[in-house]
Structures are given as C-alpha cells and as structure tokens.
Structure 1
Amino acid sequence: MDKLLKHIIITLLPIIGWSQSYVGTVGNYPIHLEVTVYPNANDTTSGELEGFYFYDSKLISIPISGSYNNESVTLIDDYYFTPEKVFDADEVFELKKKKNQLIGTLQLKDKTFKVALTETSQESLEDFRNPKLTFVKDSVVNYNDKQLVWFTEYYSKLPLFRLGNGFTKAQRDTFNPILDAIHLSDAKDKLDCNSWFEISYDVNLVNNNFISYLKHYSVYCGGAHPSHGNVGYTFNLETLEVVEDIELIYPKVDFFQKLKDKYQHSENDVQDEECETFVDNSYWQYKTWNLTSEGVILIPNYPHAMTPCVEEYFLSYSELLKE
C-alpha cells in the first residue's frame, strides 16, 4: 500500500503547478510579473506557464501564457498558448533564466524593449498592487436633504458613491464600509480584466427609509462569451441592514403571480416561447430587484445563454397592496 501511494504521489508531482513572482523592468518601465509553472509529466525541464504582468504605473493585469524549455522562456499576451500564436501576438517575451533572474526582450508590436526581472517573495497583487488602490472624491449629488458623495477609484476609473451629509453617523458608519468593499472588489476585478469591463448605476431611491440602487455590468475577460447582468442593493436606513430579499419588506406578496397577472397576456407570444418568462417561477427565485419612489423594479435571473431575455418589470406600491 505504501509503495502504491508513493508511486501515485511521484506520478502526480510533475503536473502540479507552482507560482513565482518577479519584479523588474521593461525598458525603463517598472513591472511586476507572476506565472504559474506546469512542468511536463515526463520532462520537468520543460512545460507551460500562465499568469499576468502589469506596469507599476497602471496596475492593469495583462494576461500571459507560454512555454519553457531548459533555460528559455517564451510568453505571449494571451490566456491560452500555442506555438503558432507567437507569430501573431502583439506582445512576445523571449527570456533566458539566469539563476534567480529572467533576462531578455519584449517585442511589443514593432518595438523591442530589454527585460530584466528578478525573483521576489512579494505577492504582486496582495502586497504591491491592492494597497495602492485609491478612492478620489468626484462629485456630490443632493437628494433633498441627503447627499451621496461620488468617488472614483484612481487606477480602474470605476465610480461609486458614499453616504454624506444628511445621513446619521450610524448610517454612514454602517453602510460606507460596505460601499468601500464593493467599490474595491469591482476595481480589482476591472484591473484583472485587460479587456472590456463596464459598470453603470441607477440610483432609484434615496429617502429617510431606504437607499436602493442597481449596478449594471457588461464584462468580457476571456472565454467564449461576455457576461452581462444586474446586481441590486437596498440599504434599510432604519434598521441599518442590507436587505437581501424583497420578501423581507413584503412577506405576504406573491411577486411571481402578480407579475404574471399583469404582464403575461400583453407580452409577445414569440418572446414567451423563447424566454418562458412566466411559465414557472424558476427564473424569479433569484431575481434582481430595486425600490423606487413609485414601486418596485423586478428583473428575472436567466441562465447565461438566455441573457437576451433579460427585461425589467415594474409593480407599483398600490399593486403590491392590492389583494
């Protein structure tokens, strides 16, 4: 049994990846680079790599992948590497490993830069990049006697508001750290996505009882398809809680049935067949919702392939209270 276990471990070891971080320069530009190394099963002197690098002045992760053989390393700006891609890639690193360094060149379209990188124990993202992310005050929007103060994260350029004048200290102390965390998470995600990453907001309600807003996102960070969707946030200013489900506010309302009664007969038959919006309540179990001054916005949650079916629906407060 021990011999069998030892054989299994020895067999698996070569395919287990390990990560290494580097710090150095491309030309005169400081960068951080991190790769995960996957040795070939039968020859640990060669294998594949994947990872990212970023310029210290920009902090935007650029995906890289490649291969190594003995002391030579080739990396391209792509999530997936094949030797044929080297000829068409916009960015190609050709490097030699010398002790704890990678020395060589970066071919950036029609320009060539010298590269000198040194191994480091520093975590590129956690230790270097993330502590540098900074919120810069942008503007103030008034909602009667209450202010939402908008900030932009400096590197990702993503905006989000915080609670300002007109809110109590308890309200600011409760919800601003939550907004900080949301803003920081979105900024990291955008910096990790060197492609198309868009976020916009609809602030639908600010009053003495609630703040309710929708975040709309459209993202493509590699893979077969982009991702589109909405996230709803509602803060109860009286109880100082984040309201996860609309049923916590209206526990007696059957939202699916009310929406079905209001909308099913007026919708296009073809759309109903394709999207099955009101065939059953499966698309409404994890719905997105938001409060407004007039009523509630509700958005069904479809599988990724059915994203074109997404549409906003609305129930007024009088409709919610109607038996």
Structure 2
Amino acid sequence: MTLQVYKSDNETNLTAVYFYKNSLKDIKLEAKLKDNNYSFYFKPSDVITEKFYLKKSGNNFDGFWYDAKEKQLAVHLEPVNFDNYKSNLKIRFDDERLNLVKYKFLEFKKQKTTLYNNKEFVWYSEKHCNSDFFRLGNNFTEKNKALINPILERIHIENTLAQLNCTSSFEYSQGKGIEGNSTINFLNHDLLGFQISMFWDCGGAHPDFGSSGYLIDLNNGKQYGIDDILAFDKSVTGDSENNFDAFSKYRNDYFAPKLLDVINSQEHFEKPKNEDDYCDYTNAEYWRYAAWNYTEKGIEFTPSFYRAARNCEESFLVPFERLRKYKNPKFPYSL
C-alpha cells in the first residue's frame, strides 16, 4: 500500500492505493484522516465494498479491513524495506519505489513465435494483465539478443506496470484499462523499428489513445528519436529534458513547418471551410509533436491534436526519398 498525505493551511487531503500479490492490480481508495485515525474506502457507484480503519503508531499502521458484508480481518502495515527490492532496471514511473515491489511478482510466459523478414520474434504475455510484447528469437545473433532483449524486456515491464497501475475509484481493475498492440514495421541488419499503440481509460473523465514509434540499433542498443533521424535545421535537439527551450524552439520554428511542407507537397491539404471541422492539417501547430513510425517504405507521421479533436489523428506515410535531404548527419545509416 502507498499512502500520500497533502497538507495545506486549513485541510489535509489523502490518497491511498494498494494491491494484492496475487493480482498486482492497483485498488484506489478514498481516504479520511481525523486525529490519528485513518479511514480508507473503496466506493464504486457510491457503495462501499471494502474499508480500512487504521491508527498510526510511529511509522506503523494497525487496525482492521472490512468487506461489504462486514467480514473483518486484522491489518498491520509497516514501511517497506526497499533494500529487499533492489533492481538494475530503470523503471520510469513517479511511484518507482512501489513498482520495484510489484516488479518482483511479474511473470512472463511465452505465447507464440512469429517471423518478420525471415527473423524470429518470440511473444510473451504477463500473467496478471493484458500485456503482450516480443523478444528477439533464435536466429538473431547472440550479440543482438544480449544487447536488445534486455531493452525489449524493460519496455514490456514498463508497459505492464502501467497497465497494472491503471485503475479508478469507480471499479476494480481487470488489467484492461490500457489496451494496445505492438507491430514490427522495419528490420534490416542494423535497425529494428516497431510501434506501440495504446488506448487507455484509467478512471478520468476522458479516455485517450496514442502511439509511440521506436527505432533501435541492433549493434549497440541505441534508441533513436525522430530528431536523431531527421534534422530540418542545424539547431536540432532531441534533448527536451535538459534543454527544453532550445528543443521547443526547434520544433516550433523548423520541425513543424518543414515537416508540414514535405507532407503537404504530396497530400495537398486544404484548410477546412466549415468551422465545425477541427481536422485542420494545414496548421503547423499540430505537427510540432507528431507521432512517428519507422517503416519499410518510409516514416509515418501522425499529427497531435487536442483531446476533443483526437479523432482527426491520421497517419501519413512519407517515402524515404522525400526525407533523405533532411537526414540528420549524425544518424549513421542511410534512409
């Protein structure tokens, strides 16, 4: 269980989430604090189906759990010793430490083997939720597998944890709050390209969807972003974490307008005449953070619209020959 307490001048707000080792799916609780007494409720459709009454003593909590029929179980909580959950895996989540606990209970099982460009890919599922992903199979070199499979495993673990953490206070998670699929779209001696598409509904007012493209160097494990592949200006930077201003300026001044020009030269977009038509592909703003997908025939780009116009998001394939003049000089391979 994780409990977070937010204190302001006049009030105290709490959030609480817990999971069982046999399911690993988060259960989100409403919480109240009075004096030193903590009350947690799971309350779908405004009906309490389980509750905790706990009292804090030092760093521990003691009390009872009740179900809807008032069945009672004693509860004792104490701080997690994270020394028992050390991992070399870099998991990218705000609640990383609790994910280290959950990670230890993940179970991946081989499901099937597929071929792409005569190379073998082995697909795995995770026991506790809908989370399928692949690894390199037997006819890849040992060096390729040693370098790339840990990267693919980490991606699978991150996506699995996101799925298990996707929950709402309105219903129990079935491990389906994030659904998606992965497709392999490019493979040669040096590069592996694939796309992960997802739809998620984790209890908020608006479900959402999106996709992410990946291009991984089979020789060294480097993951290339779109700014590593294409450079519409020498000021190109893919480093949004350490220099967001420069990254944002490049995307706004060069990437978006020039990418739109390239795509528009083949698609011939027209500005919508009807003000109720939100799908304005002539607006460079929607291309600033376009999703991309590296394929055998070229790179697919999908403009990023605001949430209410998300259905406007359509993919447009730009053949490699149209992009070669914009190849980033630091990208070590031809397009």
TM > 0.5 fold call: yes
Partners of 1:72 and 1:94 within 8 A in 2? no
- From the superposition, tell whether residues 126 and 217 of structure 1 become closer, same or farther in structure 2 (CA, over 3 Å): closer
Gaps of 5+ in 1: 1-32, 79-84
* 2:25 alignment partner AA: I
CA RMSD of superposed structures (Å): 3.3
In 2, distance between residues paired with 1:157 and 1:234?
24
Aligned residues: 278
* 1:296 alignment partner AA: I
After superposition, give the CA deviation of every residue in 1:22-70 in whole Å (9 maximum; x if it has no partner): xxxxxxxxxxx33223468569xxx543111112211111111221223
Partners of 1:61 and 1:193 within 8 A in 2? yes
Residue 129 of structure 2: aligned partner: 156
How far is the alpha carbon of 1:139 from its aligned partner?
1.3
Residue 103 of structure 1: aligned partner: 63
Flag the structure with higher strand content.
1
How far is the alpha carbon of 1:197 from its aligned partner?
1.3
Residue 89 of structure 1: aligned partner: 47
- From the superposition, tell whether residues 68 and 250 of structure 1 become closer, same or farther in structure 2 (CA, over 3 Å): closer
- From the superposition, tell whether residues 264 and 272 of structure 1 become closer, same or farther in structure 2 (CA, over 3 Å): farther
- From the superposition, tell whether residues 321 and 284 of structure 1 become closer, same or farther in structure 2 (CA, over 3 Å): same
In 2, distance between residues paired with 1:129 and 1:291?
33
Gaps of 5+ in 2: 83-96, 168-172, 234-254, 327-335
Partners of 2:300 and 2:315 within 8 A in 1? yes
Residue 332 of structure 2: aligned partner: none
Equivalent positions of 1:69-80 (< 5 A) are: 69-70=34-35, 72-77=37-42
Residue 195 of structure 2: aligned partner: 214
Partners of 2:125 and 2:133 within 8 A in 1? yes
Equivalent positions of 1:119-268 (< 5 A) are: 119-122=77-80, 125-126=98-99, 128-194=101-167, 195=173, 196-237=177-218, 240-245=221-226, 248=229, 255-265=259-269
- From the superposition, tell whether residues 94 and 52 of structure 1 become closer, same or farther in structure 2 (CA, over 3 Å): closer
How far is the alpha carbon of 1:114 from its aligned partner?
1.1
In 1, distance between residues paired with 2:73 and 2:158?
31
How far is the alpha carbon of 1:231 from its aligned partner?
0.4
- From the superposition, tell whether residues 263 and 72 of structure 1 become closer, same or farther in structure 2 (CA, over 3 Å): same
How far is the alpha carbon of 1:152 from its aligned partner?
1.3
> Which 10-residue stretch deviates more, 115-124 or 184-193?
115-124
Partners of 1:272 and 1:278 within 8 A in 2? no
Partners of 1:198 and 1:217 within 8 A in 2? yes
In 2, distance between residues paired with 1:317 and 1:116?
64
Partners of 1:106 and 1:114 within 8 A in 2? yes
After superposition, give the CA deviation of every residue in 1:224-249 in whole Å (9 maximum; x if it has no partner): 32221110011233565322117626
Residue 64 of structure 1: aligned partner: 29
- From the superposition, tell whether residues 263 and 271 of structure 1 become closer, same or farther in structure 2 (CA, over 3 Å): farther
Equivalent positions of 1:110-121 (< 5 A) are: 111-121=69-79
* 1:228 alignment partner AA: F
Pick the structure with greater CA Rg.
1
In 1, distance between residues paired with 2:149 and 2:291?
22
Residue 14 of structure 1: aligned partner: none
* 1:37 alignment partner AA: V
- From the superposition, tell whether residues 107 and 248 of structure 1 become closer, same or farther in structure 2 (CA, over 3 Å): same
* 1:311 alignment partner AA: E
In 1, distance between residues paired with 2:319 and 2:275?
24
> Which 10-residue stretch deviates more, 177-186 or 309-318?
309-318
Percent identity of the aligned residues? 25
In 2, distance between residues paired with 1:39 and 1:62?
23
Partners of 2:130 and 2:179 within 8 A in 1? no
In 2, distance between residues paired with 1:219 and 1:60?
15
TM-score by length of 2: 0.71
After superposition, give the CA deviation of every residue in 1:194-217 in whole Å (9 maximum; x if it has no partner): 252112122222333432111111
- From the superposition, tell whether residues 236 and 63 of structure 1 become closer, same or farther in structure 2 (CA, over 3 Å): same
How far is the alpha carbon of 1:319 from its aligned partner?
4.9
Residue 300 (structure 1) aligned with residue 258 (structure 2): no
How far is the alpha carbon of 1:269 from its aligned partner?
4.9
Residue 290 of structure 1: aligned partner: 293
* 2:55 alignment partner AA: K
* 2:67 alignment partner AA: Q
In 2, distance between residues paired with 1:105 and 1:98?
15
- From the superposition, tell whether residues 267 and 237 of structure 1 become closer, same or farther in structure 2 (CA, over 3 Å): farther
* 1:119 alignment partner AA: L
* 1:65 alignment partner AA: E
Residue 20 of structure 2: aligned partner: 55
In 2, distance between residues paired with 1:174 and 1:249?
25
Q: Is the partner of 1:161 in helix, strand or coil?
A: strand
In 2, distance between residues paired with 1:266 and 1:96?
62
